[in-house]
Structure 1
């Protein structure tokens, strides 16, 4: 099966011609690696009102499971009037300084991950992409009252920009996005990414401060620049909301305090993920004490 079957690439993109180096390709897929909607919010911030020009489009019908993730339709009185089809595309955008870059966004493929990875390789080769950077987020036992931590990963150690907070090796569920990075490295293309740590008790709600941290990480490694003030303000507003909700529950405050102590002890010791004498609250404790807290977040007027 031809790899080109999965993607249609625009032949001529004058904005990328005649440059001394190739563009950066950002990858942020909806689905598995998006706790707190961190990467999705970052994508919406980057797109803004000018959605950019689509320079590559993937064949969604080959990659998407419609029954698992049914797209929305509008029913108006007696007829279907609208259908929001899923789109997996690469857009050409510009940063605040006018530097062009590419953004691959849309739903994570449900099937044919290997075919998808090879199709992205065609995009990388066609536009002479110099670096692929992925954005993701996962729920972690961290407090919302501390700075958002990022784990960085790359196909080569020379691409890493920081030391991660933990060491060792773990087995994690795969994703199309992580497999893409692995394959790009095997094919000789530079690829890296950042994963934001989201407080697990708010992982199902938007967490814009994580989106800000992800984009700041991208700025550091690519030289691209954006106006991130809207994300900063949204993050501050979210912190106020959380503080208001937590103030109503002694039990929740105790758990957050425990996470704060664990966070601070670890960063002081700079040793293990769980600092000595700072036990992690059990899953039952966290679940019971945040159940009512989450319910209040869903209905803030209650």
Structure 2
């Protein structure tokens, strides 16, 4: 029997914490608009933090499926960007400590990894785990972004309407942690931001803003948001400029707005997960945004 604690190493100077919340996101699964990645990346960029635990990526990752970047200079190798899956300790704008778990999604030993995270939660006295990511939906960027909440106990999120019934989908490590650790009595919450499907492959900071605002409502943590909101505003301005330059794109967005408004008013029972045949597909809209995305990438 493998010992799950062998999968991680706790820092020798790990801080003493009091019921911290742990926010987590793994790169590699569905994250429309980069909602989860941008949100946690923003927090680690804005807040002072330190590593409190690292996981053994050599055991967890398949390097041949996502090869690390190496740098060759003239006649020798000079660098290798080794992946890191780690837990960081930081504090919000009010001084409340919390934890962030981020890095690549494990390729193997999922069940052992879930047990390892459970053991780490016990060592760090974590009170609640929260995951956040984006999912593509047939919604326009001109309307408020919705959120599908899920949790290990319904009391953690309260009543909500949902676009989902009972469905089977490919699993993820984030979902497995909520399922396994929630089943063991841990409080686990997830926020899935509804990202316009035609922007799902782009970085959409507004989705990260929406995700972090949901975390604040659910946990009381207060985050520095000015930089992220500025990025969201700049992106929305660029999107509007692109739309104004295309009559076809403007018509498509107007159609999505009408569908969204009808759904919100309750006069249309069509799920926002699937589009009517008269609506453009996500691929068709995304194709029209290719030039916009390429121009944004060149500016970054």
Structure 2 residues not aligned, in runs of 5+:
none
Q: What is residue 238 of structure 2 aligned with on the other side?
A: 241
Q: Which segment drifts farther, 156-165 or 105-114?
A: 156-165
Equivalent residue number for residue 123 of structure 1: 120
Say if 2:87 is the partner of 1:90: yes
The residue correspondences of 1:142-157 to structure 2 (distance < 5 A) are: 142-157=139-154
Distance in 2 between residues matched to 1:296 and 1:192, nearest whole Å: 35
Alignment of 1:131-170 (within 5 A): 131-161=128-158, 163-170=160-167
Scaled by the length of structure 2, the TM-score of the pair is 0.91
CA distance in 2, matches of 1:289, 1:189: 41
Question: Taking structure 1 as reference, are residues 216 and 268 closer, same or farther at Cα in structure 2, changes over 3 Å only?
Answer: same
> For the Cα contact (< 8 Å) 1:27–1:103, is it kept in 2?
yes
- 1:245-291 deviation digits (Å, cap 9, x = unpaired): 1112222112211111111111111874538xx96356874433541
Equivalenced residue count is: 295
In 1, Cα distance between the equivalents of 2:160 and 2:244?
35
- Could you tell me whether the CA contact under 8 Å between 2:275 and 2:281 is conserved in 1? no
Alpha-carbon offset, residue 195 of structure 1: 0.7
Query: Does the residue aligned with 1:48 lie in a helix, a strand or coil?
Result: helix
Runs of 4+ in 1 over 6 A off after TM superposition: none
C-alpha separation between the residues in 2 aligned to 1:90 and 1:244? 40
**For residues 285 and 150 of structure 1, do their structure 2 counterparts lie closer, same or farther at Cα, with a shift above 3 Å needed?**
closer
RMSD of the TM alignment (CA)?
2.1
| 2:14 aligned partner | 13
- Aligned-partner SS, 2:179: helix
Partner of 2:37: 40
Which of 274, 289, 292 is the matching residue for 2:288?
Answer: 292
Larger mean CA deviation between 136-145 and 89-98 belongs to 136-145
Alpha-carbon spacing, 1:279–1:53, altered in 2? closer, same or farther (3 Å): closer
CA contact 2:204–2:235 (8 Å) conserved in 1: yes
Unpaired runs of 5+ residues, structure 1, are: none
Rounded to whole Å, the distance in 1 between the matches of 2:268 and 2:116 is 41
State the TM-score, normalizing by the size of structure 1: 0.91
Q: Structure 1 residue 118: deviation in Å? A: 0.6
Match in the other structure for 1:3: 4
Distance 1:205 1:5, change over 3 A: same
Shift of 1:23: 0.6
C-alpha contact (below 8 Å) 1:28/1:39 kept by paired residues: yes
Paired with 1:137 and 1:286, the residues of 2 have a C-alpha distance of 15
2:251 aligns to what? 254
For residue 299 of structure 1, report the CA deviation from its aligned partner: 2.8
In structure 1, how many angstroms separate the alpha carbons of the residues matched to 2:281 and 2:215? Answer: 36
**Distance apart, 1:296 and its partner CA:** 3.4
Measured at CA, do residues 97 and 69 of structure 1 come closer, stay the same or move farther in structure 2, by a change above 3 Å? same
Residue 280, structure 1, aligned to residue 281, structure 2: no
Picking from 97, 102, 105, the partner of 1:100 is 97
* Separation of aligned partners in 1, 2:21 and 2:46: 21
- Alignment of 1:68 onto 2:65: yes
Check 1:108–1:230 CA distance in 2 against 1; reply closer, same or farther (3 A cut). Answer: same
User: What's the CA shift for 1:12?
Assistant: 5.2
Secondary structure at the counterpart of residue 289 of structure 2: helix
- Measure the CA separation in 1 of the matches of 2:157 and 2:260: 23
